Chain A
Amino acid sequence: MTNLELWEAIGEIDAEAVLDARKGSMERKTTLRGPKFISALVAAVLVVAMAVSTVAYYGAGDRFKAVFDQWGGDLSEGQNAFIESAAVDVGESVTKGGYTTTVASVISDGQTAMIEVSLAAPEGQFALRLSFQEFVLSHNGEELNLGWSVGVVDDGDGKDHTATIILTTVLERSELFFAGDGKWTLCLSNLRMETEEGYLGDPVVEGDWYFDLTFSQAADTVELITKPVAFEGRSDKGVPVSARLTSMTLSALTVKYTYEFDAEDVQILGFEDVLVVMKDGSVVHCGSGWGSPGNARYELLQPIDLSEVDYVLFSENIVIPMVSE
């Protein structure tokens, strides 16, 4: 493959997304919204107002609203209500070797946990190239084997040596929930700086950063499959495989599905496209996905109000209607 072929493939990217990139950047040029985007010029004017309403402007709920707004556009009333109820301030900082890591807040629906982490490096460093070697979440002392995604969000301060990232993971075990019960601990290990080539270099600070986390109560989950739904999946080698969808659950931040198939020499199917289509026609996309034989789970890029879901579009053309409550 050549870079020109890759460039030509980029030229075929979804037309709506291409147009959105131009419109979005133009809108953003004139409308940087939210508390994290207040310019120095107007900040002085807002000091009095913020002194009165600091929590309203800077609470975990408002920060996650800004994050989801960046990831998926304007939020509905129902989405805002979920964020307000599910986001929890943490505000724990640990400084080692001049690098400060702060777990600012978390949000969860019981299945998916999103953790807002701020990094502050010494001036002159590019914080966006910092990364921890390992993320480990423990529940009551038991380490959970979880996959993580790392999303970069605009922290709005214009400084290179600070960055805000969102760590996201989805639980695989059905009997466990991110919820107020038990003791949750996040351990971040060995802070490293990526090389110019994109590989993790030597640690800039070795050691473990521990943070205690608190989650709100788990949100509702809905099962959409009443009888198996046939679909054609693909093996991890790209071979078509006849399969059956046996379960699909939705909760505010999570889509999970399970499947069966009869093909030999296939351990796992690739990830299928999953879109959540709302009654007003808007679409919520999935972000990262994880899977093991027979199941897949995704984080959603915006929370969904279950009462406003119309259907799920699975594997490009299979409509799975929302069950009536």
Chain B
Amino acid sequence: MEDEKIIELYWQRSEDAICETAAKYGNYCFSIAWNILSDEEDARESVNDTYMGAWNAIPPHRPAVLASFLGKITRRVAINRWQEKHAAKRGGGEVTLALEELTECIPSDQRVEAQIESVQLTQTVNAFVMALPLTERRVFLCRYWYLDPIRDIAERYGFSESKVKSMLHRIRHRLLMHLKKEGFL
């Protein structure tokens, strides 16, 4: 079913909206949740929470890109679940690896809970990522938005794993410089 029709079902408060969403985007949402949680039951619950989130948000919201809208809810739900489960301990999974990698973008003397304007940070990161050459942008988002394992990214792009690591390493370094230039560090 086309996205516009699925969104219309939400607006009509038809429960078919959930069925159609699950049929079209269930696997997509599950893959996002799975990458974050590495646990089938948690991932499935996150996907169900995503449907509930979409049901509560539409209406009044009318998403321009339904896949991204759902993916964003799934990512947020899964991150919250991951944080709850890992409140006491750290370690394991792509989240930990990705977060460790992103730590390179923050100098060690500034890794503190400082008050920052999250909206401005979002705008700055968005501008940086959107200015990247297409392949680098896609690789960056596959790793840090979708949390795809590096070996999967390498396979999809026909690169060696070390080439992906090297590309990400360069991008992180440029992001560090960009954040410094914009006054976040």
Contact = CB atoms under 8 A, between A and B. Distances in A.
Given A13-B125, A25-B142, A1 B130 contact: no
A285 B116 CA distance: 29
A29 interface: yes
Given A160-B163, A197-B104, A15 B172 contact: no
Contact of B138 (A25, A126, A160, A238): A25
A24 B131 contact: no
A21, A28, A72: which has the most chain B beta carbons within 10 Å?
Answer: A21
Contacts of B137: 17, 21
Contacts of B153: 25
B167 A21 contact: no
Contacts of A29: 155-158
B160 interface: yes
A318 B12 CA distance: 37
A21 B31 CA distance: 14
Given A9-B121, A11-B72, A11-B76, A129 B114 contact: no
Nearest to A68: B134
B158 A32 contact: yes
| Among B114, B159, B162, B176, residue most surrounded by chain A Cβ atoms (within 10 Å) | B159
A73 interface: yes
Given A1-B110, A5-B118, A21-B146, A154 B129 contact: no
Contacts of B162: 126, 160
Contact of A14 (B98, B106, B124, B126): B126
Given A18-B145, A25-B156, A154-B157, A288 B76 contact: no
B145 A21 contact: yes
Contacts of A21: 137-138, 140-142, 145-146
A8 interface: yes
A128 interface: yes
Interface string B144-156: 1110100001011
B145 A13 contact: yes
A175 to B, nearest CB: 29
Interface string B2-18: 00000000000000000
Nearest to B155: A29
Nearest to A6: B102
Given A1-B121, A5-B118, A152-B170, A71 B135 contact: yes
B20 interface: no
B185 to A, nearest CB: 7
Given A1-B179, A10-B129, 17 more contacts: A4-B99, A6-B102, A8-B79, A9-B125, A10-B125, A10-B144, A17-B129, A18-B71, A19-B67, A22-B146, A26-B156, A70-B135, A126-B162, A160-B160, A194-B173, A196-B169, A287-B133
